[in-house]
Every structure is written in structure tokens, then in C-alpha cells.
Structure 1
């Protein structure tokens, strides 16, 4: 629950934590000040937090105009070769997943302090455009992938949508598109249909929001890799997921699709996923878990993403079902060692308590560095800024805002 709304509504509250349906503890807290409330909330999560810094900036915000009630969700953040920040997301007619979504963009040329007016870079009448996934190439070209759902069709049946069908050419088929910019994100190409290259015929949809990457090391240096989660309809409203990777060795002109990543056991499979590069040119993938249970799955590739270890539960990544971000900050030999960063909502069962995590053993284990957003914190995307700071673009305020925050690397370089 958002702290401001809590203070406005109550002075005496009960805070309850739940895990696996069991009540662990109940604290009754008499709230005297804002700092007391924040401190009490975070004791329940066993993580110390500080108030959000003053330089947190709102990049997208829910419109209060009844004629254009647009909401904004699903952030993607990249830094171009020129040092420009590009913040993508879905603009929705409301907030639900299938809301005639458009893909929109704002640019910042000063490290995220100010942002240019919003651009609509992809729209398709009543169709819904979902899951923006961007990657910056060493040539300076920026690629953006998204998934297009026909009007009234989605990857699951809801009161206002029917479930999609497998195949490529039918009216209920979901398509995957790729577009590019060669001028630092100012102008964009027409979308190119890459459905047959990226999605299996038997799958009803494919996507994964956030970012891809271009490998810089090993025999596959230069390869572009994009994370995937594919959805399959298995009867009634039941569905199954798996993870895979789409990769290109020719600058994004043609694409190959890896086999699905195997799951280590029948309990869960991968959902929305993100990637980071390993020192040998391999990859680590962390994935949201489907069905929705706590934690994240992790898998490794040592051949440029073509083959993967079986998914297993990641060590130290406590989080509810939610898209999360992973970022390579430094390599072995760096003065503070090899560092991977992860942001996620660090609680048992709510998208809140946004926390920066660190791994110094190439993703084998993770430790908490700092709570960066004590309140609402859902989907997020990390990027290394030109000055060495970390930029985090994230959903907050009950999905009413997508905000940007700069993080000083001294948070994790002190050790």
C-alpha cells in the first residue's frame, strides 16, 4: 500500500505478513511520523530502507483526463552509443494488459534529469502492442521488439478477451514485430514481421519485456540475444509457458530460436525473463516463475545462448511473481571484482519494497544491497549510465507512475 495514502487514511494500523497461506506475524503499529511508518513496514520485510532520494523523476504518469485516460506500464530502458537514455513503455487505454496498447518513448540527453516529450512509435488501431524489448548495437542502431495481439485476443481468456490460437496466418494469431532506429531514437523504421523466425507455430504468443543485449566476449561476440517466454494453450483456459532465446549473428537481419529451456522438475516453468553476459561470452537468464510462486528461476548458457542448463530456483532472490531486471556492471579484474546487479520487489507476496541485489559469483548467489523504493515497486529495468551511475526505470504508486532513479555505485563498490 502506498505510504502517502496510508498516512492520509489511518493513524493506527496492523501489518500482516503471509507466506504460503500461513500467517507468520502480526504487528500493531501506532504511526507517529512518516519515518516511523516506513521503518515499521520494512521490519516486516527484514530489510532496512531509506526514503527515496529527491532526484527520483516521474517519466510516465496515469492521465486524469477522462477523454484520454491513458495508463503506462512495462518499462524498458537503454543507453545509446551517444549516451542518450531511451525509456520505452506501453501506453494503455486504462491499465489492463489488453487495452489497445501503443508503444511510446521518451528520450533524455542529460542522464535522466530532463526528458523530451513522449513519442508514439508504434500503434495499431484496436490491436494491443505489448512487451517492448530494446537493445543497442555497437553500430549505434537500436532494435525494438514487441508483440501484437489482435483486438479482443490475448494469451489468456478474460472477461474482455478470447484466447489466441497457434499458427501464423489466422485472425486469432499473435505476431511479433521488430523495428529499428539509426538516429539515436529520434525516428523509427516501419515494423517488420518476424513471427516465423521468433515464435514456434504451436505457441500462441511470444515476448518478454525489458532489454536484450549484444555479446562482447567469446567466440560469439557480436551476437544479438533477446529473452523469450512462449505461451501454449493446453485446453480450456489452461496454458503452459517456457523460456527460450532468439539470436542473430547478422545484426538483426535474420533470427534463430533456441529449443525451450528445460525445467528441473514439474512444479514451475519460466515466464518473463532477462539476460546478462558472463565473462566467457555465455549468458545468465533469470525468469519470473509460472504458475505464480515466490522466487526466480535461473539458467546458464556457455555457448552464446544456444543451449541452456535446466532451470532451477535462484539462491537469494526472494520476490513475488514479477518481471525483474538484471545488469552486468563490471567484469573479473575490475577493482571491486565481477558484479551483477538485480532489482526486484523483495517481499513474499506483494510488489513493493524495491531492492537492489548484487552477485559477485556470476549469479550463483545474491545478497541485498539497499531498498531503493520502500513502497510500491513492480516491473523495473536497469541501465548503466554514461557517468558510471545506475539508472532504474520502474513502476510505482499502484501502477500510476513509471519513475526513474539514479543509483550511486558506491552503494555496492565499498566492499
Structure 2
């Protein structure tokens, strides 16, 4: 935020268990209602991490997370969901979407289909790891107990019931030397314009660990079959890791990726063929990154097509959540709004209506996953000067 601005926080418990946060800037004051959706230690799970959120065609919000037995990435995780029918003010009971005994489920990535043969369907893609085996210790290939598998499920009733998990590993993963793959985490997208309108695009990164590459897997039949896109070429300055993708106003795609060893800035690339291939990854000067997953959506909330990227506004720490706004397709991100001034990790934005977006994010040292509603005024404050 603007270094001359001030941040004042007042918190109180409401009937909906919301925390009211007031952020005061030179540009004005916004009252942001913050609601805890997943809280560690509740619901039979020690930790909840890795959020995903979508808005269905009917307006229902579905918030997904990994329900973990510990902070470990691969500790017998389940995939769970909660729903809201009042734009995130209140949330229904938590339900388990998938539980694989002896396996750990990771990286939930959801998308709501608005067109095509399965319009109205919700797709949910995620990985299945051997419990206790992380991305640095799984095997190459598609079979056997020590491989990383990719599963997809769907719901045709707004998330009330879900299909049996279907293994699509051979469609979305390359053979050796690739070991692990990861969807997003966050959301997938369905393209709305151009020659690839209707295509479903899922963002991926692939190992081996420490040598990650980012790419898309895509489907032109509503998720029945998937094709494997090419990885984005690296710029020799670190690697892209966890990644999100959005459709730009001209129908091309932008990816924004977490940097690993890349100098404290997110990486981006562009696809003009619906995610089949990408330009070379480049650091984004405006998007500071302490090496943390960040969210990305396309919207018209500021009166014109724009992109919104969320993440920590720090090159060193996962703190001070911020939403950056671009109106030139991601070439620059000159405007930003504060989201949450404390501990802030993984985040996923979702378009609500008009000028409002919701953000589902990890806070307070990943002890909670919370939802906040943010206004995107056309005169948003300039981005902070960050190291």
C-alpha cells in the first residue's frame, strides 16, 4: 500500500463469525468482512491448506481445501468443500469430496463450465500421492504405488454430489524424467472467445523437484479427454512453479507463476494457441513474490477488461496480502489494493458481481483459510514500492 497511508484494524465477532477489517488509505476507506471458512483443529482435521474457490452458474460459491492431519504436504490429506449461497457471508457444513486411504490428496483445482456438452458441470482436478512421499521422492511413470497420479471428479448438482475419481495421469503427465505434477493450485478456466472458445484449461507444473516447468493441460470436450500442452520455456533466472492462468481480452492467455530462485518477482508468459504453447517466462517487475502461490482472474469489475493477481506484497515474507490490477493484459500492474495486513499465504480470487471480487486465502501462519470481499474501484491506489 501507499507508504503514507495508514492501516487501522478493528475486529469484532458477528453472528456469522465474521471479522470486520477496516483498511484506511489516502484513496478512501473500505470495510471488508472477513469470514473464516476452514480453521485448523476443527472438523476433525489439524490443518487446512491450499484453497480453491469457484462461483457456479447459479451464484453458489464452492470453497475447497486440503484437510490435513499435520502441516506436512503429504500427510493423508482429504479434499473437502464448503458452500455459500449468500456471496460468502455464511457457509454450509464441511463435506468430504474425496478420501483415498493410504494416499494423500493435493492441489485441488476447480472450474465451473458455462458452455459446451457439460455446461453447468463443476470439474475438480487434484493429485494423489503415496502418504509420506512428497514431490521429491515419487517415481516416474504412471503406475505403481510410488507414483504421483492425477484424478478428476465432477458434479452436476452445484457440488452436492460428486462422481467417482477418474485417473487421467496418462493424459496430463509426461513420461520420465517427470516425477511429480501439480494442478495450480487454485482454479482452472474455460475460454470464452476466439477459435478455442469452450476449451477447458488446467494450469500445471511438473518436476523433478527443483527443476519445475509450467504448462497447461486442456480439453475441448468439457473434460472427458485431455491433451498435454508444451512447457513454457525458462529465461535462465530460476523456475516457474505453482501457476494460474487467465484469458485476456484478445483471447490469448496469460500465466502468472510462483518464482523459485528467480529474484523475488513472479514470472509470466503468454499463449496465443489456447495453452498448447507459451512464450518464454519473464520476471514481472510489478509483481513482488516471496516464492508463494498467487491467484489470478480476469474480470471487468473496474469498467473495462482487467486482470487481478493476488499474493503477499513482500519479496521476503508471506505477509501483507494485496490485489494487483492490470488493464493492459498483464504487461503492467500499476494499481493495487490491500487485502489483509497480516500473515498471508496462498490465495484465490473469484468474481462475484459488478465491482466485487471475493478472495479465499490462508492467513495467520496457515492456521485458517478465510474469505474476504473486495471492491475494485477504478481509482484504486498505486501499488506499493516493494523491495
SS, match of residue 391 in structure 1: strand
- Residue 148 of structure 1 corresponds to which residue in structure 2? 128
Q: Does 1:402 align with 2:374?
A: no
Which of 302, 312, 323 aligns to 1:356? It is: 323
For 2:142 and 2:126, how far apart are their aligned partners in 1? Answer: 16
- Residue 61 of structure 2 corresponds to which residue in structure 1? 85
Preserved CA contact (<8 Å) 2:344 2:361: yes
Preserved CA contact (<8 Å) 1:394 1:404: yes
Q: Does 1:260 align with 2:260?
A: no
Encode CA deviations 1:170-202: one digit per residue, 9 max, x unaligned. 221110000000000111000000000001112
- Residue 294 of structure 2 corresponds to which residue in structure 1? 324
Preserved CA contact (<8 Å) 2:212 2:239: yes
Encode CA deviations 1:13-68: one digit per residue, 9 max, x unaligned. xxxxxxxxxxxxxxxxxxxxx959xxxxxxxxxx9899994511000001169xx4
- Residue 177 of structure 1 corresponds to which residue in structure 2? 151
Q: Does 1:108 align with 2:71?
A: no
Which of 253, 271, 278 aligns to 1:308? It is: 278
Which of 231, 251, 269 aligns to 1:281? It is: 251
SS, match of residue 320 in structure 1: coil
Q: 1:270: Cα distance to partner?
A: 1.0
Preserved CA contact (<8 Å) 1:336 1:413: no
Matched residue count: 356
Q: 1:367: Cα distance to partner?
A: 2.3
SS, match of residue 81 in structure 1: coil
Preserved CA contact (<8 Å) 2:152 2:165: yes
Q: Does 1:391 align with 2:366?
A: no
Preserved CA contact (<8 Å) 1:83 1:386: no
Q: Does 1:61 align with 2:39?
A: yes
Q: Does 1:206 align with 2:181?
A: yes
Change (3 A) 1:410 1:51: closer
Q: 1:86: Cα distance to partner?
A: 0.4
For 2:265 and 2:363, how far apart are their aligned partners in 1? Answer: 20
- Residue 14 of structure 1 corresponds to which residue in structure 2? none
Change (3 A) 1:221 1:412: farther
User: What residue ranges of structure 2 are gaps of 5+ in the alignment?
Assistant: 1-6, 10-24, 383-387
Q: 1:69: Cα distance to partner?
A: 4.8
Change (3 A) 1:206 1:96: same
- Residue 250 of structure 1 corresponds to which residue in structure 2? 221
Preserved CA contact (<8 Å) 2:290 2:317: yes
Preserved CA contact (<8 Å) 2:27 2:380: no
Encode CA deviations 1:60-83: one digit per residue, 9 max, x unaligned. 001169xx4521000001000010
Preserved CA contact (<8 Å) 1:145 1:177: yes
User: What residue ranges of structure 1 are gaps of 5+ in the alignment?
Assistant: 1-33, 37-46, 157-162, 234-238
Q: 1:152: Cα distance to partner?
A: 2.5
Preserved CA contact (<8 Å) 1:52 1:373: no
Instruction: Name the one with the larger helix percent.
Output: 1
Q: Structure 1 length normalisation: TM-score? A: 0.81
Which of 230, 240, 261 aligns to 2:211? It is: 240
SS, match of residue 243 in structure 1: strand
Q: Structure 2 length normalisation: TM-score? A: 0.87
For 1:130 and 1:52, how far apart are their aligned partners in 2? Answer: 35
Encode CA deviations 1:250-305: one digit per residue, 9 max, x unaligned. 1111100111110122x312100001101222100000112364111000011111
For 1:105 and 1:120, how far apart are their aligned partners in 2? Answer: 6
SS, match of residue 197 in structure 1: helix
Q: Does 1:96 align with 2:63?
A: no
Preserved CA contact (<8 Å) 1:273 1:288: yes
For 1:359 and 1:315, how far apart are their aligned partners in 2? Answer: 13
Q: 1:116: Cα distance to partner?
A: 0.4
Change (3 A) 1:54 1:211: closer
For 2:339 and 2:291, how far apart are their aligned partners in 1? Answer: 19
- Residue 231 of structure 1 corresponds to which residue in structure 2? 207
Q: CA RMSD in A?
A: 2.4
- Residue 20 of structure 1 corresponds to which residue in structure 2? none
